[in-house]
Amino acid sequence: MRIALRNCGLIDPEKIEEYIAEDGYFALGKCLTEFTREETIKEIKDSGLRGRGGGGFPTGLKWEITKNVEAGQKYVVCNADEGDPGAFMDRSILEGDPHSVIEAMAICGYCIGADTGLVYIRAEYPLAIERLKIAIKQAREFGLLGEGILGTNFNFDIELRYGAGAFVCGEETALIHSMEGLRGEPTVKPPFPSVSGYMGKPTNVNNVETFASVPVIINKGANWFNKIGTEKSKGTKVFALAGKINKVGLVEVPMGTTLREVIYDIGGGIVNGKEFKSVQTGGPSGGCLTKDFLDTPIDYDNLIAAGSMMGSGGMIVLDEDDCMVSIAKFYLEFTLEESCGKCTPCRIGNKRLFEILTKITEGNGVLEDIERLRVLSNVIKDTSLCGLGQSSPNPVLSTINNFEEEYRAHVVDGKCPAGQCKSLLRYDIVEDLCTGCTLCFRNCPVGAITGERREPHLIDQSLCIKCGVCFEKCKFNAITLI
Amino acid sequence: MYKIKSLDDLKQIRGEVQSKNSLKRNGENTEQVVQIKVGMATCGIASGAKEIMKFLLEECEHQAIDAQIKQTGCLGYCYAEPMVEVQLTDAEPIVFGYVDKKRASEIIEKYIMQGEQIGGEISISFKTIND
Ligand SMILES: Cc1cc2nc3c(=O)[nH]c(=O)nc-3n(C[C@H](O)[C@H](O)[C@H](O)COP(=O)(O)O)c2cc1C
Ligand code: SF4
Ligand code: SF4
């Protein structure tokens, strides 16, 4: 079911006429000529649309709050920072249908009383930037941006602002500071941007996908939209499917679709017919779900209850060969890199989490480390300033909660069940099977294997770098991997 | 190009573009008009869509096929990029995946010129807002 992606792949994004032919700018026209600002906001509220940028805040309510703040100047901001590793839905929308976002920003401007829109987009998206620029230019030429739009007294124009590609700059207060030319660091909310945002003025920040859904809601009506989805999550969500899945790509499904439908029916199942192990949703702020959750309907609340979150819609599928401790470590490494460093729990706490995880994957972990991870994670969650820090331990907590036995295998048995943690692997030669053919001896890159021709060989564990070459080369299955 | 000054202007443009498109689709404009869409988002381009686009433009010109070739965004089937959608005058659109030059010339010579089914299409199965 395609709402946000309705035109992607179907129209030429560099031709405004094609967008108009698909009822483009008619929602704006309808609002400007038939609906008052209040009626438009009511329509969005009734539709049940919630922010697609991660938080899931009701969009209509946000517009209403921003509208009700008295100020001469207000701003509409589109958050196109898209910093989650593995997420690319916003990029696709901007590359495939930029006018839908422009139209929705104008509608938002009309509702809240703003004449200026700003798109904050990462400089690493050159094609999306190019298409947006073309689209804005065309909209101006057609008189759909600028002064006196569609013969009314509504004025609205849009400018671009470029981000340097920092994850934390997707957080709305950091984003605003970055646009103001300040350091991209979050500040305490309240005040919320709706009250005091860009240049201290009321600023309505929404995500690309949120905006892209708006024109359809206006054209089709709130009652059409709110019949799709679950009780508390209406409409559709775009997911970026990646990882060990056959059909990597973008899918847009009604809220409430199960993970199983997304992964197996749409995504074509796991690569090489391997066993599904887990799915990571919500990127660095989310968590890893087990196969027990395959039949859980996906919506904001169910994912949170399951210990993960919707985030921006990244979905990374993991199979039996993925080590959950290493996955947690991967996300932590990302967070560590992206933390702005402003507050101690996030800056130092995550570093300590990372060190403990490294210790475990290197085979030096002890049982107490698991509890230590839990306690520290909760401290970081409770005491960090912004959403980045508050959610950064989620990958650790969810993997411990859902895959504790795997952590235990590392620290108690000194084994990595997925065979990923090299330090925990051990290659050995079975004396009885070894024919002394010298093949492994000749192939070992570090000279860790010794032995006479036709005599059983031996691996010196202190030299072995666990490259696995001998294991692959041996024709007699004489090398075992424990 | 003129400025759109009212909702009626907007309706007029929509009507013009829609009828132009449907004329093309019905082939009333010319002998036979083929519509070809090439997915040109980051995923498509990374897999070589630009080259395929260029190849299709050149080949159609070379073979004197009256084709309307245009770029689009991403359909979401990133695993099968580059993707090319072909709509012949009297047929449903067909989406071909994994299109390299060899495949592209097959599409032109077999499917477009002779209407021969060449298989390997991607089934597109999502609901639209109008369903
Ligand atoms: C660390 C962090 C990163 C974020 N990154 C993004 C992002 O890349 N894109 C986005 O739209 N929202 C992001 N958000 C959420 C924004 O702060 C904000 O809630 C959102 O843009 C509001 O739009 P929405 O209501 O339409 O979702 C991020 C939040 C945090 C805490
Ligand atoms: S939680 Fe982390 S990213 Fe957020 S303000 Fe504190 S240090 Fe910066
Ligand atoms: S795993 Fe690699 S380094 Fe270790 S013994 Fe075998 S070939 Fe040598």
Ligand 1 is surrounded, with C-beta below 6 A, by A 51-55, 57, 79, 81-83, 167-168, 170-172, 205-207, 210, 312, 386-388
**Boundaries of every domain in chain B:** 24-112
Task: Quote the pLDDT of residue B121.
Answer: 84
User: What is the predicted pLDDT for the residue at B23?
Assistant: 66
Q: What is the ipTM of this complex?
A: 0.90
Q: Is B70 on the interface with A (CB under 8 A)?
A: yes
Mean pLDDT to the nearest integer, A144-157: 96
Does B42 sit within 8 Å of A18, measured CB to CB?
Answer: no
Question: What DSSP string describes A206-272?
Answer: EEHHHHHHHHHHHHH-HHHHTTSB-SSSBSEEEEEEEESBSS-EEEEEETT-BHHIIIIIIT-SBGG
Fold category of B24-112 in CATH? Glutaredoxin (3.40.30)
Q: How far apart are CA A398 and CA A199, in angstroms?
A: 39
A444 lines ligand 3 (CB under 6 A): yes
Q: Give the DSSP H/E element, type plus range, for residue A233.
A: none
Mutating to test ligand 2, I would choose from A347, A351, A353, A379 the residue with most ligand atoms within 8 A of its C-beta, which is A347
At A205-250, the pLDDT tens digits run: 999 999 999 999 999 999 999 999 999 999 999 999 999 999 999 9
Rounded to an integer, the average pLDDT of A157-186 is 95
Q: Is the pTM of this model over 0.95?
A: no
pLDDT score of A96? 96
A261 by Cβ neighbours in 10 Å (0-12 / 13-18 / 19+) ranks as: middle
- Measured between CB atoms, does B127 come within 8 Å of chain A? yes
Nearest ligand, CA A388 = 1
Rounded Cα gap, residues A312 and A300, in angstroms = 11
DSSP line for A164-196: ---GGGGSHHHHHHHHTTS------SSSPTTTS
**Do the strands A75-80 and A116-122 form a parallel or antiparallel pair, or are they unpaired?**
parallel
Position A395 pLDDT exceeds 70: yes
Q: Is A125 exposed, middle or buried (0-12, 13-18, 19+ CB in 10 A)?
A: buried
Kindly list the residues from chain A whose CB atom is less than 8 angstroms away from the CB atom of residue B76: 5, 8-9, 92, 249-252
Nearest to B77 among A18, A150, A247 (CB): A247
Chain B CB contacts of A20 below 8 Å: 10, 13-14, 17
Q: How far apart are CA B125 and CA A24, in angstroms?
A: 23
d(CA A390, CA A168): 12
Distance CA A37, CA A144 (A): 18
Note the pLDDT of residue B107: 94
Query: What is the reported pLDDT for B27?
Result: 57
Contact A29/B at CB under 8 A: yes
Closest residue (by CA) to atom 25 of ligand 1? A51
Helix-strand-coil split of chain B, %, nearest 5: 45, 15, 40
Residue A429 β-bridge partners: A479
Residue B32: the pLDDT is 60
The angle formed by the CA atoms of residues A286, A122 and A380, to the nearest 5 degrees, is 30
Report the distance separating Cα B34 and Cα A459, nearest Å.
66
Residue B30: predicted pLDDT: 53
Q: How much of chain A exceeds pLDDT 90, in percent?
A: 91
Give, rounded to a whole angstrom, the gap between the first and last alpha carbons of chain A: 47
Residue B51's contacts (CB-CB under 8 Å, 6 or more residues apart) are B101
Q: How far apart are CA A208 and CA A87, in angstroms?
A: 13
CB of A186 sitting under 6 A from ligand 2: yes
What pLDDT is attached to residue A26? 97
Closest by CA position to B43, among listed A167, A248, A281, A4: A248
DSSP 8-state secondary structure symbol assigned to residue A261:
I
Tell me the chain A residues in contact with residue B7 when contact means C-beta distances shorter than 8 Å.
26, 29, 33, 150-151
Q: Is B87 helix (H, G, I), strand (E, B) or coil?
A: strand
Q: Which residues contact A389 (CB under 8 A, 6 or more apart)?
A: A339, A343, A345, A346, A349, A350, A380, A381
Query: A26–B70: do the CB atoms touch at under 8 Å?
Result: no
Q: List beta partners, residue A79.
A: A120, A207
Residue nearest to atom 4 of ligand 3 (CA): A464
pLDDT at residue A70 is higher than 90: yes
Distance, CA A368 to ligand 2 centroid (Å)?
A: 27
Mean pLDDT in residue range A56-62:
96
- Tens of pLDDT, residues A304-345: 988 889 988 999 999 999 999 999 999 999 999 999 999 999
CB-based contact A416:A323 (threshold 8 Å): yes
Higher pLDDT, A27 or B126: A27
Walk along chain B (131 residues) and give the pLDDT tens digit of each residue.
568 999 999 999 999 998 887 766 665 655 567 889 999 999 999 999 999 999 999 999 999 888 889 999 999 998 999 999 998 887 888 999 999 999 999 999 999 988 888 887 888 878 888 87
pLDDT at position B10? 94
- Hey, what's the torsion of the CAs at A132, A135, A139, A140, to 10 degrees? 70
Interface of A with B in 224-263 (CB under 8 A): 246-252
Q: Decide if A95 and B4 are in contact by the 8 Å CB cutoff.
A: no
- Distance between CA A427 and CA A460 in Å, rounded? 10
Q: Pick from B3, B6, B76: which is nearest to A9 by CB?
A: B76
Name all domains of chain A by residue range, CATH numbers in brackets.
16-225 (3.40.50.11540), 236-319 (3.10.20.600), 324-413 (1.20.1440.230), 426-481 (3.30.70.20)
Q: Is A166 in the pocket of ligand 2 (CB under 6 A)?
A: no
Optimal mutation site among B6, B8, B17, interface A, most CBs of chain A within 10 A? B17
* Chain A contact present for B8, CB below 8 A: no
- The answer for B 32-51 residues in CB contact with A (under 8 A) is 37, 39, 41-43, 45
Is ligand 3 within 6 A of the CB of residue A467? yes
Contact assignment for B18 to A21 by CB distance below 8 Å: yes
User: How many residues are present in chain B?
Assistant: 131
User: What's the rounded Cα separation, in Å, for the pair B112 and A136?
Assistant: 36
Residue A20 near chain B (CB below 8 Å): yes
- The chain A residue lying nearest B3, using CA atoms, is A142
Helix (H) or strand (E) holding A472: helix A469-473
Least confident of A84-88, A301-305, B121-125: B121-125
Instruction: Look at residue B25 in the predicted model and tell me its pLDDT.
Output: 62
Q: Nearest Cα to A48, choosing from A268, A232, A172, A299?
A: A232
Q: What is the mean pLDDT of chain A?
A: 95
CB-nearest to A20 from B14, B45, B73 is B14
**Is the pLDDT confidence value at A184 over 90?**
yes
Between the CA of A12 and the centroid of ligand 2 the distance, in Å, is: 40
Instruction: Pull the structure tokens for residue A211.
Output: 């905006």
